[in-house]
Amino acid sequence: MTKKKPSAAEQRQKELDAMMAKAITAREANVDLISRVKRDPALAKKVRERLCVDLRRVAEIPRHILGPSASRDRYRDLGYYSPVLVRYLIGTWAEFQRQAGIADSLGSKQVERNISKTLRAQQIMEYADANVRPWDDAYSNLDMTSDMVTLQIGSDFHSKFCDPFALRVWFEVMELVQPDGVRYNGDVVDFPSLSRHRQLPGAFAMTLQQECDFAKGLFRETRELLPDADVKLVMGNHDVRMVTALADSAPMFISMDSLKYHELMGLDEHEVGLIARATFLNPSARMRRNDISQNWETLPDAYGRPFYTIVHGFLTGKGSAAKHMARFGTNGTNGHMHNPEQVTMGTLATGVTEWSQTGVMAHPAAVGAGYLPGPAESYGHMTTFNVVRLFPRAGHVQHEQVKIGATMAYFGGWTWEITEEELDARAAMREI
């Protein structure tokens, strides 16, 4: 039998994979450079020159592999140094390109930016129309006229930072409680590679494919435990970020099984719906925030009145739970803040309502490491999720918190103890 000659696409992928692997090794080797240049100004000058040479190298990757680009995203994947080091030594990316002698003139750049913004917005919208929005509210089957509806709601899993102990408890509670519905309330994936946070070397531990496989794995296990439940992903800021990246279908994703969001996430396979009311028209960070603030689910009571709202969260700062509650005026829940909070308020018209902000399903020390200064404990982030009992006829809501601590977890008379492997996995995550 003769060996099949690799196709041009396979060959190109092979070369790209090798380049990326080489870049990861180089970045790892250069991890301590930032602390060294901080101590040594002469070294800083030399490293600045080396950075410029490296950007030119990345910019000149042959067209048959990637085509020319000196963008930050490209450099983040294929550069030998951390973008953090670039920021420290040179400042803005535009300045970096100028220093390396490959920047466009200012006038043409402004025009190009406007063109690409419009084009990108259009592409993202088309992608979302085909691959995301049709799954909005899909597979819904909650009976909001029944006496009691039980939901299990957790937020902020953040894929590779997900706490293994919390995840075990999540599924064991699911098996015990047999909820009617499950809400993955945002930030199920982490997808750091296009974020401003966590650009540190070594932050590439999980590929996009692995992130999707993580989410799909959650859905699969949920469906196995609960064949008839109403399971939804309420899209959060990190989930939306992944959609926009897929819509761009950058060359770095060509190794993916599929570029279709609904397939990658196994939505039909596991009969999972989305809460995806957002427009996804988001070429800028400001507009992206806007999208998330429009994305929520409000369940009615037995008489059709707004009763219980589930939103990933878009109002931050002190009193974030109260702020969300004031905005919706219903009972409800949000995530996003990574610390649990429960508040009540009310009006003559609504009566007293209760809002519960869930903690984080990720391990707080690991997920916060990239962007929070100081010890993680000082932020009060805590691993929790909720079992929520809705009584749509009586208009009654009961939030029951499941709390996962340093070594044990408790819920409704049951306790769990952390295993050695889970402790080790937590320790390993802090080193990412």
Name the minimum Å distance from CB 305 to Fe ion: 29
Name the minimum Å distance from CB 239 to Fe ion: 9
Nearer Cβ to Fe ion, position 252 or 432?
A: 432
Determine if 187 is a binding residue for Fe ion (CB under 5 A).
Answer: yes
Name the minimum Å distance from CB 339 to Fe ion: 11
> Residue 385 and residue 406: Cα distance in Å, rounded?
15
> Residue 51 and residue 47: Cα distance in Å, rounded?
6
Nearer Cβ to Fe ion, position 74 or 241?
A: 241
> How many Å separate Cα 401 from the centre of its chain?
23
> Residue 334 and residue 155: Cα distance in Å, rounded?
8
Q: Which residues are registered as beta bridge partners of 354?
A: 344
> Residue 77 and residue 286: Cα distance in Å, rounded?
25
Choose the binding region for Fe ion from 96-104, 122-130, 181-189, 413-421 (rule: CB under 5 A). Answer: 181-189
Name the minimum Å distance from CB 237 to Fe ion: 4
Sign of CA dihedral 23, 28, 34, 37: negative
Name the minimum Å distance from CB 313 to Fe ion: 6
> Residue 10 and residue 74: Cα distance in Å, rounded?
20
Residue 64: count other Cβ atoms within 10 Å of its Cβ: 10
Strands of the sheet containing 351-357, edge to edge, are 296-300, 306-311, 331-334, 351-357, 341-347
Choose the binding region for Fe ion from 105-113, 234-242, 342-350, 404-412 (rule: CB under 5 A). Answer: 234-242
Choose the binding region for Fe ion from 229-237, 251-259, 343-351, 411-419 (rule: CB under 5 A). Answer: 229-237
- Footprint of Fe ion on 119-158 (CB under 5 A): 156
Query: Which residue's structure tokens are 């937020």?
Result: 155
Q: Which of 76, 232, 336, 363 binds Fe ion (CB under 5 A)?
A: 336
3-state helix, strand and coil shares in percent for the chain, rounded to the nearest 5: 45, 20, 40
- Footprint of Fe ion on 235-264 (CB under 5 A): 236-237
Answer whether 237's CB lies under 8 Å from 336's CB.
Answer: yes
Nearer Cβ to Fe ion, position 189 or 265?
A: 189
Determine if 198 is a binding residue for Fe ion (CB under 5 A).
Answer: no
Nearer Cβ to Fe ion, position 339 or 350?
A: 339
Nearer Cβ to Fe ion, position 69 or 293?
A: 293
Nearer Cβ to Fe ion, position 319 or 395?
A: 319
> Residue 199 and residue 197: Cα distance in Å, rounded?
6
Give the residue among 103, 99, 124 at the shortest CA–CA distance from 112.
Answer: 103
Determine if 213 is a binding residue for Fe ion (CB under 5 A).
Answer: no
Choose the binding region for Fe ion from 23-31, 108-116, 171-179, 184-192 (rule: CB under 5 A). Answer: 184-192
Choose the binding region for Fe ion from 127-135, 183-191, 320-328, 413-421 (rule: CB under 5 A). Answer: 183-191
> Residue 313 and residue 306: Cα distance in Å, rounded?
18
- Residues in contact with Fe ion, total (CB under 5 A)? 5
Name the site residues for Fe ion (rule: CB under 5 A): 156, 187, 236-237, 336
